[in-house]
Structure 1
Amino acid sequence: MTYQPPFKITATILSLVEEIGEALGRMQAVELADSRLRLHRINRIKTIQASLEIEGNTLNLDQVTAVLDGKRVLAQPRELQEVRNAFAAYEAMSQWSPDDERDLLTAHGLLMAGLVDELGCYRSGSVGVHGAQGVIHVAPQASRVPGLMGQLLQWLAETDEHPLIVSTVFHYEFEFIHPFQDGNGRMGRLWQSLILSRWRSVFANMPVESLIRDARQDYYAALNACNQVGESTRFVEFMLEIIFRALQSASSTEQESGQVTEQVKRLLSELRGKSRPARALMQALDLKHRPNFFYHYLQPALQQGLVEMTRPDTPRARNQQYRLTELGRSVAESWK
Structure 2
Amino acid sequence: MKPPYITKKILKLIASISEKIGEINANHLHKPNTELRKKNRIKTIQSSLEIEGNTLTEEQITALLENKRIIAPAKDILEVQNAIEVYNDLKIFNPNKIKDLESAHSVLMKNLVENAGKFRTTNVGIVKGSKVEHLAPGGAMVKGLMNDLFNYLKNDKDLILIKSCVFHYEFEFIHPFTDGNGRMGRLWQTLILMQQYPVFEYLPVESLIKENQQEYYNKLSESDKAGQSTPFIEFMLSIILQSLEQVLQSQNIILSVKDRIFLFKEKIGNKKFSRKDYLQNFKNISAPTASRDLKWAADENILMKSGEQRTTEYQFK
Determine if the TM-score, normalized by the shorter chain, exceeds 0.5: yes
1:57 and 2:54 correspond: yes
Candidates 82, 85, 107, aligned match of 1:85 = 82
TM-score for both structures, normalised by structure 2? 0.78
1:149 and 2:146 correspond: yes
Post-superposition shift, 1:90? 1.2
Q: What corresponds to 1:200 in structure 2?
A: 197
1:119 and 2:116 correspond: yes
Alignment CA distance shift 1:45-1:17 (3 Å): same
CA distance in 2, matches of 1:178, 1:91: 25
Post-superposition shift, 1:38? 5.8
Q: What corresponds to 1:213 in structure 2?
A: 210
Post-superposition shift, 1:229? 1.1
Candidates 189, 192, 205, aligned match of 2:186 = 189
Q: What corresponds to 1:171 in structure 2?
A: 168
TM-score for both structures, normalised by structure 1? 0.73
Matching residue's letter, 1:230: G
> Can you give the 5+ residue segments of structure 2 that lack an aligned partner in the other structure?
257-317
Post-superposition shift, 1:124? 2.3
Aligned-residue Cα RMSD (Å) equals: 1.8
Once the two structures are superposed, residues 15-56 of structure 1 have per-residue CA deviations (whole angstroms, 9 ceiling, x without a partner) of 000000111122233776113696421111110000000000
Candidates 36, 39, 42, aligned match of 2:39 = 42
Contact 1:47 1:210 in 2 (8 A): yes
1:291-330 map, 5 Å: none
Contact 2:121 2:142 in 1 (8 A): no
Contact 1:139 1:176 in 2 (8 A): yes
Give the number of equivalent residue pairs: 256
Alignment CA distance shift 1:75-1:38 (3 Å): closer
Alignment CA distance shift 1:7-1:71 (3 Å): farther
1:139 and 2:136 correspond: yes
1:223 and 2:220 correspond: yes
Q: What corresponds to 2:24 in structure 1?
A: 27
CA distance in 2, matches of 1:206, 1:171: 17
Post-superposition shift, 1:238? 0.1
Alignment CA distance shift 1:259-1:202 (3 Å): closer
Q: What corresponds to 1:311 in structure 2?
A: none
Q: What corresponds to 2:236 in structure 1?
A: 239
Once the two structures are superposed, residues 144-183 of structure 1 have per-residue CA deviations (whole angstroms, 9 ceiling, x without a partner) of 0000000000110001111111000000000000000100
Structure 1 residue matching 2:72: 3-state secondary structure? coil
Contact 1:37 1:250 in 2 (8 A): no
1:17 and 2:26 correspond: no
Post-superposition shift, 1:99? 1.4
Alignment CA distance shift 1:65-1:228 (3 Å): same
Matching residue's letter, 1:141: G
Post-superposition shift, 1:130? 2.0
Contact 2:29 2:251 in 1 (8 A): no
Q: What corresponds to 2:96 in structure 1?
A: 99
Once the two structures are superposed, residues 225-276 of structure 1 have per-residue CA deviations (whole angstroms, 9 ceiling, x without a partner) of 0111111000000000000000111111111x4499xxxxxxxxxxxxxxxx
Matching residue's letter, 1:234: P
Alignment CA distance shift 1:13-1:19 (3 Å): same
CA distance in 2, matches of 1:7, 1:62: 44
> Can you give the 5+ residue segments of structure 1 that lack an aligned partner in the other structure?
261-336
Post-superposition shift, 1:7? 3.9
